């Protein structure tokens, strides 16, 4: 389907939600929902998306939606999916009439890398047929920008501040995709709202996969990363162009994970000179300001560049 055709699809996330101006989660959630193909139930972990879209008595969700807690989106989804399956088998119960129901779970990086990792791992291991969408804005934004397992090294957050001694978060970002891929599920993909067609196509593949699928969305956050709200899409694009967040998908084929680079990243793989330096990405965000002011920390910028390069090389080893 072309963008023009997809643009005609009604939005399932209604306007009037209270996410920040320029919120990357809002764009991503809208695009994810553009891929909905039939009867769908959504569950969401606690986080910005959940809070800002359902302030009682209002809701922005035009599909059946439930939030229960922070760490259990995957377990909630397991229950919804299993209930549907049981009703289908019995031929009775309120959902038995549906041929199929897609179940989508949204969670942030806190709800995925950290507190929700166990429930996610359990649901993936059990093979529930659902799509888990990780909205990764790289910190606990809903509680006011605290570091998570998804926060990158050197980023300043309110619990990993850039101080006189310590320059922001000390740990590297947890390799969540590799952890998920290690569960040998049918479909894993990275997406960015900056590439809408790619995102919608992958989300559709995830819905079509039989069994668990995982979509890792890179979600710039103007408030938490400290950049002007109109740059959300540009920054997401830069993350792909620097190979900090390459776009790829991974299918399990005959028991082996098969990685495929998506076109924006594939073109860099073929033309390495197009890979942009990480500095361009870092300098645009207040959370990395201390790498440039009051004095330039070339040592740290170099360290980050080397990390990006290494991760990119490791991906190329798998994907080419």
Site for other proteins in 116-145 (CB under 8 A): 118-119, 121-123, 125-126
Q: Is 107 in the site for other proteins (CB under 8 A)?
A: no
Q: Figure out which of the listed residues 85, 153, 201, 289 binds other proteins, where binding follows CB under 8 A.
A: 85
Q: Figure out which of the listed residues 232, 241, 242, 285 binds other proteins, where binding follows CB under 8 A.
A: 232
Q: Is 297 in the site for other proteins (CB under 8 A)?
A: no
Q: Is 233 in the site for other proteins (CB under 8 A)?
A: yes
Q: Figure out which of the listed residues 35, 49, 65, 205 binds other proteins, where binding follows CB under 8 A.
A: 65
Q: Is 164 in the site for other proteins (CB under 8 A)?
A: no
Q: In angstroms, give the least distance from the CB of 216 to other proteins.
A: 19
Question: Could you tell me the two tokens for 225?
Answer: 């990363």
3-state secondary structure (DSSP) of residue 227? coil
Distances (CA, A) of 31 to 119, 143, 162, 270: 25, 25, 34, 28
Cβ atoms 217, 48 nearer than 8 A: no
Number of residues that bind other proteins (CB under 8 A): 88
Q: How far apart are CA 249 and CA 177, in angstroms?
A: 10
The closest of 77, 81, 57, 78 to 67, measured between CA atoms, is 77
- DSSP structure class, residue 79: H
Nearer to other proteins, 187 or 227 (CB): 227
Nearer to other proteins, 44 or 244 (CB): 44
Nearer to other proteins, 71 or 138 (CB): 71
The interface with other proteins within residues 177-206 (CB under 8 A) comprises: 193, 196
Q: Give residue 257's region: left, alpha or beta (phi > 0; psi -120 to 50).
A: beta
Q: Figure out which of the listed residues 26, 180, 191, 282 binds other proteins, where binding follows CB under 8 A.
A: 26
Q: Figure out which of the listed residues 39, 161, 211, 264 binds other proteins, where binding follows CB under 8 A.
A: 39
Cβ atoms 288, 297 nearer than 8 A: no
Q: How far apart are CA 40 and CA 35, in angstroms?
A: 11
Nearer to other proteins, 61 or 245 (CB): 61
Q: Figure out which of the listed residues 75, 156, 207, 244 binds other proteins, where binding follows CB under 8 A.
A: 75
Q: In angstroms, give the least distance from the CB of 104 to other proteins.
A: 12
Q: Is 156 in the site for other proteins (CB under 8 A)?
A: no
Q: Figure out which of the listed residues 32, 35, 49, 60 binds other proteins, where binding follows CB under 8 A.
A: 60
- DSSP structure class, residue 13: B
- N- to C-terminal Cα separation, the chain: 28
Cβ atoms 74, 123 nearer than 8 A: yes
Question: Could you tell me the two tokens for 87?
Answer: 């009703």
């Amino acid at each position: 389907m072309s963008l023009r055709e997809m643009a005609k699809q009604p939005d399932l996330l209604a306007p009037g939600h209270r996410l920040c101006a320029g919120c990357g989660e809002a764009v991503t959630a809208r695009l994810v929902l553009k891929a909905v193909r039939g009867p769908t139930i959504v569950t969401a972990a606690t986080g910005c998306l959940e809070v800002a879209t359902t302030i009682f008595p209002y809701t922005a969700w035009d599909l059946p939606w439930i939030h229960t807690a922070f760490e259990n989106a995957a377990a909630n989804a397991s229950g919804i999916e299993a209930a549907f399956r049981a009703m289908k088998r019995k031929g009775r119960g309120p959902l038995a009439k549906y041929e199929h129901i897609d179940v989508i779970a949204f969670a942030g990086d806190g709800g995925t890398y950290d507190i929700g990792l166990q429930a996610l791992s359990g649901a993936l291991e059990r093979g529930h047929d659902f799509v888990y969408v990780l909205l990764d804005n790289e910190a606990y934004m809903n509680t006011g920008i605290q570091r998570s397992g998804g926060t990158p090294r050197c980023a300043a957050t309110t619990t990993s501040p850039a101080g006189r001694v310590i320059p922001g978060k000390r740990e590297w970002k947890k390799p969540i995709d590799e952890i998920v891929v290690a569960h040998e599920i049918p479909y894993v993909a990275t997406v960015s709202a900056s590439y809408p067609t790619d995102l919608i196509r992958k989300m559709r593949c995830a819905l079509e996969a039989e069994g668990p699928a995982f979509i890792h969305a890179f979600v710039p956050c103007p408030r938490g990363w400290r950049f002007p709200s109109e740059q959300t899409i540009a920054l997401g694009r830069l993350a792909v162009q620097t190979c900090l967040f390459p776009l790829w998908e991974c299918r399990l084929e005959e028991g082996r994970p098969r990685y495929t680079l998506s076109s924006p990243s594939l073109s860099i793989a073929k033309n390495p000179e197009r890979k942009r330096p990480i500095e361009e990405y870092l300098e645009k965000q207040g959370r990395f300001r201390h790498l440039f002011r009051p004095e330039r920390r070339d040592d740290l910028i170099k360290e980050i560049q080397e990390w990006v390069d290494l991760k990119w090389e490791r991906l190329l080893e798998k994907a080419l």
